[in-house]
Amino acid sequence: MKRREFLTTAIGGATVAVCPGAEARPNHEPAPEAVGMLFDSTLCIGCKACVAKCKEVNDMPPVIDAEQQSWDSARDLSGDTLNVIKVYTDGSGETKDAEVDGFCFEKRSCMHCVDPGCVSVCPTTAMRHDPITGIVTHHSDVCIGCRNCMMGCPYNVPQFEYDELYGQIQKCQMCNQAGVERINNGQMTGCAEACPTGATLFGSRTLLLEEAKQRLTLKPGEIYNYPRGDIASPDSYHEKQVANYKQHVWGEKEAGGTNVLHISAVSFDKLGMPPLEERSASSIAEGVQHTLYNYLALPAIVLAGLTYVVKRNTDSDSDGDES
Ligand code: SF4
Ligand code: SF4
Ligand code: SF4
């Protein structure tokens, strides 16, 4: 750890010293025509129809638990599961959407970040961000299996198929990868289509963000007509009493924003969302990286780091010889 801390400090200091103009680029902006989803935790009943539909669309096998041997019981994302419903409980767990003594459901799948870390760290462009739709896709034909994307994702989304001989990265591609292409064919995502309550709603990010903000203005207990399917042309509506929403649309701003938005009556830190600043990690890392290359300073900094490591190792060996 000490060596890592030293190197980080040394490289940071050297960067500023050698490249005084090193600075982050701005976050990428959401694509004007980006598509996405709005997950409203207060509407989710935990039926997991979205999980089953996701497996059907993506041709993925069930995950059979040793205790529950008769049905898919995936508890987390994996190489075989691109979408999972998790349960929050507190205390007696009696009241839906109550943070204390309550429970609620939370969906986990790719957030389709506006400024995605997975794309930024991928050395081969296997991870790509579509500038029109905003969808982030993985392309196995050019993936070298380095797994940088797993480290670059703040949501722990990309999963590696460790149990396969020629394992690949798997993640939700918003049902728009080669061979599926639901969005390109004018369909909505599988999970939004299957959701019976509209908890997972598909559509334009702009419209979904407006809808999310509108819901946050509603009074708890009042009746609202919730759309189901695609927000631009809902399959149907259903009336429901409004829950006590937290005044926060997750994904409006976090790390540059996401095309998948979440709202909830339970705070997002309790639902396991990571603490994120508004500035994306990609904007900082790419800004510094480009500056380093512009100043042709990177080789000198790497050499300084390697020299330190070799010197430390040599000193330790000498110390060992003397004892
Ligand atoms: S959630 Fe993770 S995998 Fe999905 S786009 Fe964002 S960084 Fe990439
Ligand atoms: S968008 Fe498609 S791949 Fe992503 S979670 Fe929904 S059904 Fe699964
Ligand atoms: S289908 Fe809809 S209601 Fe059912 S678990 Fe998925 S998001 Fe929740």
Taking CA atoms only, the protein residue closest to ligand 1 atom 6 is 113
CB 30 within 8 A of CB 114: yes
**Same domain as 292, residue 176:** no
Q: Is 69 a domain residue?
A: yes
Q: Is 277 a domain residue?
A: no
CATH code: domain of residue 149: 3.30.70.20
267 φ, ψ (degrees, to nearest 5): -65, 150
CB-based contacts of 141, cutoff 8 Å, min separation 6: none
**Same domain as 248, residue 160:** yes
Say whether 88 sits in a helix, a strand or coil. strand
Query: Interior CA angle at 14 toward 11 and 20, to 5°?
Result: 125
What is the CA 261 to chain-centroid distance, rounded? 11
Q: CA 64, CA 145: separation in Å to the nearest integer?
A: 26
**Same domain as 262, residue 115:** yes
**Same domain as 172, residue 94:** yes
Mutate to test the pocket of ligand 2, among 72, 191, 230 (most ligand atoms within 8 A of CB): 191
pLDDT of residue 15: 41
Give the 3-state DSSP-derived string for 190-248, with helices as H, strands as E and coil as C. Answer: HHHHHCCCCCEEEEEHHHHHHHHHHHHCCCCCCEEEEEECECCCCCEEEEEECCCCCCC
Per DSSP, what are the bridge partners of residue 250?
262
Is the pLDDT at 251 greater than 60, yes or no? yes
Tell me how far the alpha carbon of residue 168 lies from the centroid of ligand 3, in angstroms: 27
Cβ-based burial of 190 (10 A; exposed 0-12, middle 13-18, buried ≥19) = buried
Each residue's pLDDT tens digit, 160-202: 999 899 999 999 999 999 999 999 999 999 999 999 999 999 9
Each residue's pLDDT tens digit, 138-166: 999 999 999 999 999 999 999 999 989 99
Ligand positioned closest to the Cα atom of 48: 3
**Same domain as 286, residue 236:** no
**Same domain as 68, residue 119:** yes
**Same domain as 216, residue 70:** yes
**Same domain as 245, residue 120:** yes
Mutate to test the pocket of ligand 1, among 121, 129, 155, 276 (most ligand atoms within 8 A of CB): 155
CB 134 within 8 A of CB 35: yes
**Same domain as 290, residue 253:** no
Count of the separate structural domains present in the chain? 2
**Same domain as 22, residue 41:** no
100 is in which domain, residue-wise? 35-271
Q: Is 320 a domain residue?
A: no
Cβ-based burial of 278 (10 A; exposed 0-12, middle 13-18, buried ≥19) = exposed
Q: Is 323 a domain residue?
A: no
Each residue's pLDDT tens digit, 64-116: 877 766 777 788 999 999 999 999 999 999 999 999 999 999 999 999 999 99
Q: CA 73, CA 96: separation in Å to the nearest integer?
A: 22
Write out the two tokens for 290: 């480009």
Q: CA 142, CA 197: separation in Å to the nearest integer?
A: 39
Per DSSP, what are the bridge partners of residue 113?
258
**Same domain as 101, residue 43:** yes
Q: Give the residues surrounding ligand 1 with Cβ less than 6 Å away.
A: 110-113, 116-118, 136, 153, 155, 157-158, 171
Q: Is 252 a domain residue?
A: yes
Higher pLDDT residue, 134 or 5?
Answer: 134
Is the pLDDT at 8 greater than 80, yes or no? no
Each residue's pLDDT tens digit, 195-241: 999 999 999 999 999 999 999 999 999 999 999 999 999 999 999 99
DSSP annotation string for 269-294: TTTTPPP--SS-HHHHHHHHHHHHHH
Q: CA 144, CA 167: separation in Å to the nearest integer?
A: 10
- Atom number, ligand 2, closest to the C-alpha of residue 182: 2
pTM: 0.85
Q: CA 62, CA 40: separation in Å to the nearest integer?
A: 25
Q: Is 224 a domain residue?
A: yes
**Same domain as 119, residue 8:** no
Is the pLDDT at 295 greater than 60, yes or no? no
Mutate to test the pocket of ligand 2, among 38, 54, 195 (most ligand atoms within 8 A of CB): 54
Q: Is 322 a domain residue?
A: no
